[in-house]
Amino acid sequence: MVDPIDAEVQKHGADSIQRELFGTRIGFILAAVGSAVGLGNMWRFPYRVAEGGGAAFVVLYIILTLMIGIPLMLCEFSVGRRTRLSPIGAMRREGGGAWPLVGFLGVLTGFLILSYYSVIAGWVVRYGIEGILTGFAADPGARFNEITSGIAPIVYHVAFMALTITIVSVGVEKGIEKASLILMPVLFTIVIGLAIWAATLVGSGDGYSFYLAPSFSELLDPETLAEAGGQAFFSLSLGMGAMLTFASYLSRHENLNREATTIAASDFGVAFTAGLVVFPVIAALGLQSQVSASTVGALFIALPGAFAEMGSVGRFVGIAFFFALTVGAITSAVSLLEVVTASMIDEFKITRRPAAIGAGVLILLVGLIPATSLDALGLIDSITEWFLALGALGMTLFVGWRMKDPITEMVDGASGFFAQIVPTMLLFVKYVMPPIIGFVVFWSGRKAFTTLMTTLGGG
């Protein structure tokens, strides 16, 4: 499907002509939700909740999603749809000067995230396959060490990247949109079903208490605030150019504010529901200490151990859980690769297939580093969390202070409340969001530096 080029874009040149478009509104929403929903919801979110004091983190995450996440997503949408370009070209066209560096940072961040995200997705696929073939190991810690060492992580990383490249190379409507229309309803159904099942477990109440009863003293902890902000950027795919790129495939009649709200609400719904699975299961089996012990504790040690202890029922549930994770990982990985692919198409004027293959192979090669080193994986994760915050700050400043008449783009296609709130939201983007995001930049940068020093020091 091709968009009729509007006069504003056409007068800037022919590089936007024949821009691909999503075929349907629901296709765009599910693709964007698929970008947001993934391992960030089921791997990172439970760990961050445990590390951040439980419900206090959840409350801050909700607040920051409303205060920063939705307005920032609207900013990315407005830039992407107006320019019909990927991040670098979009910032060049609307801002000039050094602003394309903000776009480049987003592309680089997506590139680096996918390099280790694919490795973790490979672990997920292997756990699911082993659940089907042999069941879950009685000693999940030892099994995790085996799965993450040797040649196997590389093999699964390569296989996962090959699948991602295949989907992206097909195109926006026939590849990304079609995959999202099939996979996302499956993910929603499985996660909701697992949450209902988890509620039946004896002892699950302790998990709900930890997850849903906030300690208000934790709400004032600056580290919890910074971690919640970083998680919001990661989970909503903000600061990496994914939402900007997807919006460049949108028609002009779409209500950007409504879509941003829908996507953010859907993303939080999946993350929150995943917590209703993870914490009751872990509490029912007394495995709480394994969740906050490491970034992989909940997903790859505590939960497989729980599934193993539950016998045949646990095996079935575990297979369903890791299948849902695989679905989420695929849709998120597709969006990350699309950012890099679209940038190569726009910047080098090449066709989609060689761009997708070239970008995918480069990411695959870089991913060999985290595939063979958990320390490297943790370091890249910390650095990209800082990059996400920097990208979010850059986008906020760009739309608030540099972009010409952003309100016109934001309200185009909107009506009622969604149109009326935009001027107020823009004031928020200008004056309130920069200092909040700046704090997250400072905190995540300090954390990344500490992780770097620890990694270089060998401990």
pLDDT of residue 287: 66
pLDDT value at position 43? 67
C-beta neighbour count of 161 within 10 angstroms: 24
Beta strands in 230-311 (DSSP E): none
Dist CA 45 CA 232 (whole Å):
10
Sorted by where each begins, the domain ranges of the chain are 7-456
Smallest CA-to-CA distance from 410 within 393, 427, 394 is with: 427
Segments of the chain scoring below 50 in pLDDT = 1-17, 293
Q: What is the pTM of this model?
A: 0.90
pLDDT tens digits along 179-224: 999 999 998 999 899 899 989 988 889 888 888 887 777 777 888 8
Please report where in the chains the tokens 């299961």 appear, as a residue: 281
* pLDDT at site 298: 63
pLDDT single digits (tens) 317-347? 999 989 998 999 999 999 999 999 999 999 9
Q: Domain 7-456: which CATH class?
A: mainly alpha
**Residue 159 has what pLDDT?**
97
381 CB-side CA count, 13 A = 23
What is the number of alpha carbons within 13 Å of residue 124 lying toward its C-beta? 25
Q: Closest by alpha carbon to 288, among 306, 262, 265?
A: 306
pLDDT of 8 reads 46
Q: What is the pLDDT of residue 11?
A: 46
pLDDT at 210: 81
